[in-house]
């Protein structure tokens, strides 16, 4: 809002007041990972940014696989390593429905043990993946720039097949939980052209959009 330039990156060595989706805390002890925010200005409007968090996930997987990390994506915005959360994405939007729009993409990635966390997490060091944080940051930013430029031109549909090939829990029983209301169980069967999750439930196929919803394997 203060006119910061397109592509600005702000990184923190230690994070004590970070936040994730649904108001969760995201902490990082000194030097344990990468915590940064990227400002990206789009010509397309807010209505054309559906699927953006999934596309950011693709960029992260491309970069991490350069260093041998066997990562996958959990809808809508987590990067998994050995079934545990390695990185998270939080996107905040501002602008007009018809454009232009500005987005702050917040990313937290565990290079080493992050400290006390309220969920099972992974880190690159424990997985035997040795990479300097500067080198990893450069790879992430290079992939993000490439992917975000293409997304601005073509939208999520250009990435849908790639995302499906990277997705965890597809064709598996999942449980969706919400900030309000009862959980929904079903089979995750894919995503549509806007990045919305498709689930085959006992009441038939349903579509779930990114928002106040979390996905887990069925217990």
Nearest 5°: CA angle at 154, between 152 and 158? 125
Write out the two tokens for 7: 């592509």
Instruction: Assess whether 216 carries a catalytic annotation.
Output: yes
Marked catalytic residue, from 62, 85, 113, 130: 85
60/67 Cα distance (integer angstroms):
11
Consecutive H or E run containing 188: strand 184-191
Question: Exposure string (b/e) for 86-107, b if CB count within 10 Å is 16 or more?
Answer: bbbbbbeeebeeeeebbbbbbb
Instruction: Assess whether 29 carries a catalytic annotation.
Output: no
Q: Which residues contact 42 (CB under 8 A, 6 or more apart)?
A: 48, 49, 95, 99, 100, 101, 102, 103, 152
Marked catalytic residue, from 25, 130, 153, 216: 216
Instruction: Assess whether 160 carries a catalytic annotation.
Output: no
Marked catalytic residue, from 21, 62, 74, 160: 21
The residues facing 33 across adjacent strands are 110
Active site residues: 21, 85, 216
């Amino acid at each position: 809002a203060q006119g910061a330039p397109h592509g600005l990156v702000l990184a923190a060595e230690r994070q004590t007041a970070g936040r994730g989706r649904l108001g969760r805390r995201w902490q990082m002890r000194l030097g344990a990972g990468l915590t940064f925010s990227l400002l990206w200005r789009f010509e397309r409007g807010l209505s054309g940014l559906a699927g953006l968090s999934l596309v950011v996930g693709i960029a992260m997987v491309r970069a991490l696989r350069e260093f041998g990390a066997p990562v996958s994506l959990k809808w809508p915005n987590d990067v998994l390593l050995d079934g545990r959360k390695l990185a998270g994405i939080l996107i905040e939007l501002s602008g007009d429905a018809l454009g232009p729009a500005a987005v702050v993409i917040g990313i937290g990635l565990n290079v080493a043990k992050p400290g006390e966390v309220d969920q099972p997490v992974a880190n690159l060091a424990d997985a035997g993946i040795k990479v300097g944080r500067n080198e990893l940051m450069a790879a992430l930013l290079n992939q993000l720039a490439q992917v975000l430029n293409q997304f601005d031109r073509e939208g999520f549909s250009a990435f849908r097949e790639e995302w499906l090939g990277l997705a965890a829990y597809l064709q598996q029983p999942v449980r969706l939980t919400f900030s309000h209301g009862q959980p929904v169980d079903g089979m995750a069967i894919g995503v549509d052209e806007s990045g919305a999750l498709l689930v085959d439930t006992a009441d038939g196929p349903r579509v779930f959009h990114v928002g106040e919803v979390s996905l887990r394997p069925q217990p």
